[in-house]
């Protein structure tokens, strides 16, 4: 592909984004040239005082031909616009839908750094190690203001917002180091908020994971928190309080007290911890205390990882 000074194409979607960019640039450039050439030609040909024929009362046949030309220059650009819309929408859908076999990584943005966590518990700051050829799904949130996770070589950018999770996925196609930027003005050190994505061969990545092995996985840390914060006092096996059993809840529909149903995803679990009155499970009293201000976003991700790890069990956690 033509380079045009663009960053390298290092993800599966990058060449597809570039192709769309080139197509739109060529079409709009072509239309602009056609319009300017016509303007100049007509400007010279029909300038004041030129002897060219200017028919004021055109015969019917000529009027019909003019209407056809007008219809054509209305419909052809319309079709071009619709085609580029359909093309971009298709790409947007591809971008939005992470493959089922994606490896999850968790990103917490804060002024002014990127904190990354692997399910195995490995933590990184301003660096993200990933294997080549493996779909990676990022689950991202912010601890303070709006940031934006931007990797030009992957042609991907996604806003990272406080109070909710946003997702982004990619499959890296080239090994190497690629810049990571914050693309949303987020305060004094916004310009320095960045880092590198390091794409490694799968075997090399596995060695990296082993070399940086954490004492605890995210789920194990979450389990500890579950006890220390007292969650197990109500949700645990020997609880005297009537609280929902969290085993097997992840990914399932949860009937709520207001008659609606939600799927217990990351968002729902997070809100249940911080805003417990918002969506109370049907059949339970709204007695859960809020943990707002008591735990950080990393802790919440650990707790979610723990609850996810209970997805396939039925028994109450201890």
Longest dimension (CA), the chain: 101
- The distance of closest approach from Cβ of residue 308 to ligand CUA in the complex, given in angstroms and rounded to an integer, is 27
What is the distance between the alpha carbons of residues 297 and 114, in angstroms, rounded to a whole number?
12
- The distance of closest approach from Cβ of residue 196 to ligand CUA in the complex, given in angstroms and rounded to an integer, is 16
If the CB atoms of residues 186 and 288 are measured against ligand CUA, the closer one turns out to be 186
Number of residues that bind ligand CUA (CB under 6 A): 9
If the CB atoms of residues 105 and 193 are measured against ligand CUA, the closer one turns out to be 193
Phi and psi (nearest 5°) for 134? -115, 125
Identify the DSSP state of 212: T
Within 8 A by CB and 6+ apart from 299, the residues are 225
CA distances to 136, 244, 248 from 315, rounded to whole Å, are: 31, 12, 8
If the CB atoms of residues 78 and 185 are measured against ligand CUA, the closer one turns out to be 185
Query: Is the alpha carbon torsion for 232, 235, 238, 240 positive or negative?
Result: positive
Q: Which of 97, 124, 106 is nearest to 12 (CA)?
A: 97
Of 124-183, binders to ligand CUA (CB under 6 A) are 147, 182
Site string for ligand CUA, 215-244 (x = CB under 6 A): ------------------------------
- The distance of closest approach from Cβ of residue 148 to ligand CUA in the complex, given in angstroms and rounded to an integer, is 7
> Is residue 186 near ligand CUA by the rule CB under 6 A?
yes
> Is residue 184 near ligand CUA by the rule CB under 6 A?
yes
Phi and psi (nearest 5°) for 170? -160, 160
Residues that bind ligand CUA (CB under 6 A): 109, 112, 147, 182, 184-186, 190, 193
């Amino acid at each position: 592909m033509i380079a045009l000074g663009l960053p390298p194409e290092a993800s599966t979607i990058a060449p597809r984004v570039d192709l769309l960019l080139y197509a739109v640039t060529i079409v709009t450039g072509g239309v602009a040239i056609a319009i300017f050439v016509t303007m100049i030609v007509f400007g010279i040909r029909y300038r004041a005082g030129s002897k060219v024929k200017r028919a004021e009362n055109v015969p019917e046949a000529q009027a019909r031909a003019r209407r056809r030309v007008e219809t054509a220059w209305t419909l052809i650009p319309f079709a071009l616009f619709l085609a580029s819309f359909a093309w971009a929408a298709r790409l947007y859908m591809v971008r939005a839908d992470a493959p089922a076999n994606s490896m999850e990584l968790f990103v917490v943005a804060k002024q002014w750094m990127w904190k990354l966590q692997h399910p195995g518990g490995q933590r990184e700051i301003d660096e993200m190690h990933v294997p080549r050829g493996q779909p990676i799904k990022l689950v991202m949130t912010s601890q303070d203001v709006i940031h934006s996770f931007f990797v030009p070589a992957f042609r991907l950018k996604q806003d990272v917002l406080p109070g909710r999770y946003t997702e982004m996925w990619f499959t890296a196609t080239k090994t190497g180091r690629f810049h990571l930027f914050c693309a949303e003005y987020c305060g004094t050190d916004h310009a320095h908020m960045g880092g590198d994505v390091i794409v490694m061969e799968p075997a090399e990545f596995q060695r990296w994971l082993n070399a940086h092995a954490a004492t605890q996985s995210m789920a194990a840390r979450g389990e500890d928190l579950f006890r220390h914060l007292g969650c197990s006092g109500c949700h645990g096996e020997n609880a005297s309080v009537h609280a929902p059993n969290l085993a097997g809840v992840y990914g399932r529909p949860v009937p709520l007290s207001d008659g609606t149903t939600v799927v217990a995803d990351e968002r729902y679990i997070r809100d249940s911890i911080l805003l417990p009155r918002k969506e109370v499970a049907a059949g339970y009293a709204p007695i859960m205390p809020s943990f707002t201000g008591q735990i950080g976003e990393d802790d919440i991700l650990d707790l979610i990882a723990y609850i996810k790890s209970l997805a396939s069990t039925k028994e109450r956690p201890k």
